[in-house]
Amino acid sequence: MARRYLDLNFAPRDEGGRALALEERAGSDTGRAMVVDAWVQDSEGVRTEALEQGASCALCMRVRFLADTEDPVFAFELSDPDGRAVFTGSTEWAERPAGKFTAGQAVDVAVTFDNWFAPGRYEVLGSVRHAGSARRVMAEQGTPTTLVVTGTRAGGGIVDVPHAFSLFRAGAESEQLT
């Protein structure tokens, strides 16, 4: 849904200001790269389809370039069963170019974080994009990778960020209840 919103509202335009259709935007950019493999790994670097809540993890993909490419953006999207993007991460956050890649070259890409998502099933989709606000896709993972988050603490939100409560009795001097 978010991609469709961007396509409708921020699509690249021709010289006359007309929004370019998806087919027109793809042009010679398609086929520049391909996502060869994508996986989730635990804090030990082992591939897994299930992660314990609170553990460190990484979303990973192997990309092979089919043409010389400069400064691609590598991105991941983690979606819940309702198709909502609950986490997105891209190399644009690094605020430095990814570099040059030659035809035939492969690169492994990973984004790491502590897994505080609510227990449940998620899908991971890796992609390679052109820099800029149009986010034109060079390559996208064909079938999403499935991830199951396990845990005993479900607060009802999409993420269960660690937190602490303090209770103070009203009117009492520094009497902390917890």
**Per-residue pLDDT in tens (0 to 9) along the chain, 178 residues:** 444 444 445 455 455 555 544 444 443 356 799 999 999 999 999 999 999 999 999 999 999 999 999 999 999 999 998 999 999 999 988 888 899 999 999 999 999 999 999 999 999 999 999 887 667 899 999 899 999 999 887 777 777 777 778 788 887 665 556 5
Residue 173's pLDDT is what? 65
Q: Give the pairing type, strands 85-90 and 50-52.
A: unpaired
CA distance 171 to 154: 33
Mean pLDDT for the chain overall: 82
Question: Residues 6 or more apart from 105 whose CB is under 8 A from it?
Answer: 64, 65
pLDDT, tens only, 127-172: 999 887 667 899 999 899 999 999 887 777 777 777 778 788 887 6
In this predicted structure, what is the pLDDT of residue 123?
A: 96
Percent of the chain scoring above 90 in pLDDT: 58
Q: State the Cα–Cα distance between residues 118 and 121, nearest whole angstrom.
A: 9
List, in order of start, the domains of the chain with CATH numbers: 30-150 (2.70.50.60)
> What pLDDT is stored for residue 156 in this prediction?
75
